[in-house]
């Protein structure tokens, strides 16, 4: 499954809200999101208009590791693509 190429940081934050993440801090051009589901977990994402593919992949891999599921499952939950 391919990563979205035109996803902004704000769009990713909104999508991560489906997994229980909320913005807990906003400093400069980055925001920190936190979830308490499956234990507390923090992730920091840039508020850029278009996230780089490597950055997006790393964030999704981190979230997938926290929930102990494959990255493809996280992408399916967030973006509804197979």
Question: Checking DSSP bridges between strand 41-46 and strand 22-27, what pairing results, if any?
Answer: unpaired
Q: What is the pTM of this model?
A: 0.89
Q: What is the pLDDT of residues 34-63, one digit of tens each?
A: 999 989 999 999 999 999 999 999 999 999
9-77: CATH architecture:
2-Layer Sandwich (3.30)
| pLDDT score for 1 | 74
The residues with which 34 forms a beta bridge, in sequence order, are 22, 42
| pLDDT score for 81 | 59
Q: How many helices (H) and strands (E) does the chain have?
A: 3, 3
């Amino acid at each position: 499954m391919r990563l979205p190429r035109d996803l902004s940081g704000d769009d990713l934050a909104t999508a991560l809200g489906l997994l229980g993440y909320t913005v807990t801090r906003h400093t400069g051009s980055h925001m920190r999101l936190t979830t308490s589901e499956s234990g507390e977990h923090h992730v920091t994402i840039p508020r850029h208009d278009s996230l780089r593919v490597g950055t997006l992949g790393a964030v999704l891999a981190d979230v997938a590791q926290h929930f102990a599921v494959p990255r493809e499952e996280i992408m399916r939950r967030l973006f509804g693509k197979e």
